[in-house]
Structure 1
Amino acid sequence: MDCGSGVMNKLPSETRVEALSGVILSHLHYDHMADLGVLQYAAAGAIRNGRMKEKLKLYAPDAPVDILHSLFSEHTKVIPIDPSTKVRLAGADIEFVHVEHTITCYAIKISYKGKVLVYSGDTSYCDALIELARDADIFLCEATICEGSVHTTGQGHMNALQAGMIAGQANVKQLVLVHLPGDGNLEFMRHEASRTFHGPVDIPEPLRMYTMIHRIGRNGYSCIDCLLLIWMGPC
């Protein structure tokens, strides 16, 4: 999900580009797609040397149209998404809800064998996100606004208190704060989220792994099949 600056620098240590079933962009702002050209270049190389047999699938909002058209390449299959789009990738069911940002943006819900991951994308507080995140195992929620930060004017974004409110109202199991300001007090933001959400609140480090095991073996937890999130780093 998303392909911001620095993703491709970390990706080779985790998986090769040909192992990707697809890439989903929440919206077409460059902080969420800065490394996409590098990814397309890697896909081109994988296709040329035979490691990759098909074009890389890229799911992206259908607006702004000029930016969407710039994503087309001979090695990428661009698939526009809207709220009615349903996607199945690697056995996971994926759906989208329109959220409140300065351009077309979608929150993303991934369901896999009873486990649910929801990513807010960039958004201000909205009821649609609460419904999408209902009972999610992990909720990645943006918290861009922080007092004293010069990162954003606040339009189309939330603070940590609001992220916690949505997590609490949606009854999620774990909240992960993302899209954080580089000049923000992260521990203060964690505390703010905890005022309105009483479950675990995490601020991820790059390459942090979250495993949602759906099956328990006889000898305790057995990761026979799971939904795994690897946090690649900030936008």
Structure 2
Amino acid sequence: MKLTIVGCSGSFPGPHSPASCYLVTVQEDGRTWRILLDLGNGSLGALQRYMDLRDIDAVLLTHLHPDHCMDLCGLHVAVHWDPAGWNRPRIPVWGPAGTADRMATAYGLELEPGMHEDFDFRAWSPRTPVRIGPFTITPYPVLHPVEEAYALRVEADDPEAPGGKRVLTYSGDTDACEGLIEAASGSGIFLCEAAFHEGRDDGIHGVHLTGKRAGDVASAAASRRLLLTHLPVWNDAVLAMEEARSSYSGDVAVAVAGVSYQV
């Protein structure tokens, strides 16, 4: 399983990265399966460096803040108005229950048909696994000030991996909570947000993690590698890593747009 960082800038696109979007690929039976974890603003353009949009097998949304979902509007245009015709099935889009209506409203469409002609919208059910090709994705409710927010546990079978599975966990946006620890348990890579800094944001709870709190969760979950993401442009990446290393003894790095990682 390969993780490619399409966009990792926190809360809005930065000068070197779009907002949140992560491409996960697995080779199986002679083909490459491709899923997207979030599709935040600015990410659709960068995504085309790594794949043909027609090859998207599914889009998986953690929550409905624009920096995690808004480029679904651009993908709608790519699908609906391609002068050559899309000539592919509707793209499955997994997300919170209100995803279809939110996207239609964002683009100024009537709710029906909205974007249903282009996307097969499906709603997460907490802790209920979804199978997409070789992937099993399980959503875990997490702590963020929206109606629904999820961390996503992505698993792919591999007899050479510990426990016979490769495991990637993506935090989405969240503060520390039991659901996040559960999602990240035993993960090979824990792709975890660290939008806040210790000392600067101590009075804000239930919104985002600091590097230290991300490290706390990674330690509690026995994750083998911690990859910090969703750092806003004003955050110090070195400080985020130092905070994480104060509470987590494993390998720590900061996600960089355009870089790929083997899970």
Counterpart of 1:18 in structure 2 is: 54
User: 1:85, CA displacement in angstroms?
Assistant: 3.4
CA RMSD of aligned residues (A): 2.2
Say whether 1:40 aligns with 2:91. Answer: no
Counterpart of 2:24 in structure 1 is: none
For 1:110, which of 126, 150, 154 is the aligned residue?
A: 154
Verify the 8 A CA contact 1:62 1:68 in the aligned structure 2. Answer: no
Q: Secondary structure at the match of 1:167?
A: helix
- Structure 1 unaligned runs (5+)? 213-235
Say whether 1:160 aligns with 2:160. Answer: no
The AA in structure 1 aligned to 2:88 is K
Counterpart of 1:181 in structure 2 is: 232
Q: Secondary structure at the match of 1:13?
A: coil
- Identical counterparts, % of pairs: 30
Bigger RCO (CA 8 Å, 6+ sep): 2
Say whether 1:201 aligns with 2:235. Answer: no
For each residue in 1:82-105, what CA deviation from the matched residue of structure 2 results, as whole angstroms up to 9, or x when unmatched? 205321113111111111110110
Q: 1:64 to 1:148 in 2, by over 3 A?
A: farther
Counterpart of 1:27 in structure 2 is: 63
The AA in structure 2 aligned to 1:123 is T
- Structure 2 unaligned runs (5+)? 1-36, 107-113, 158-164
Counterpart of 2:92 in structure 1 is: 57
After superposing on structure 2, the runs of 4+ consecutive aligned residues of structure 1 that deviate more than 6 Å are none
Distance 1:43 1:67 in 2: 18
Verify the 8 A CA contact 2:143 2:206 in the aligned structure 1. Answer: no
Which range moves more in the overlay, 50-59 or 61-70?
Answer: 61-70
Counterpart of 2:38 in structure 1 is: 2
Distance 1:43 1:117 in 2: 29
Q: 1:196 to 1:75 in 2, by over 3 A?
A: same
Say whether 1:77 aligns with 2:120. Answer: yes
The AA in structure 1 aligned to 2:43 is V
Distance 1:155 1:174 in 2: 24
User: 1:178, CA displacement in angstroms?
Assistant: 1.1
Which range moves more in the overlay, 108-117 or 55-64?
Answer: 55-64
User: 1:66, CA displacement in angstroms?
Assistant: 4.8
Q: 1:55 to 1:149 in 2, by over 3 A?
A: farther
Say whether 1:146 aligns with 2:194. Answer: no
User: 1:9, CA displacement in angstroms?
Assistant: 1.4
TM-score under structure 1 normalisation?
0.82
For each residue in 1:28-62, what CA deviation from the matched residue of structure 2 results, as whole angstroms up to 9, or x when unmatched? 1111112111112112245x635542011111111
Verify the 8 A CA contact 2:70 2:103 in the aligned structure 1. Answer: no
Q: Secondary structure at the match of 1:31?
A: helix
Q: 1:64 to 1:49 in 2, by over 3 A?
A: closer
User: 1:67, CA displacement in angstroms?
Assistant: 2.0
Counterpart of 2:10 in structure 1 is: none
The AA in structure 2 aligned to 1:67 is R
Q: Secondary structure at the match of 1:95?
A: strand
Number of positions where the alignment pairs a residue of Structure 1 with one of Structure 2 = 210
TM-score under structure 2 normalisation?
0.74
The AA in structure 2 aligned to 1:146 is H
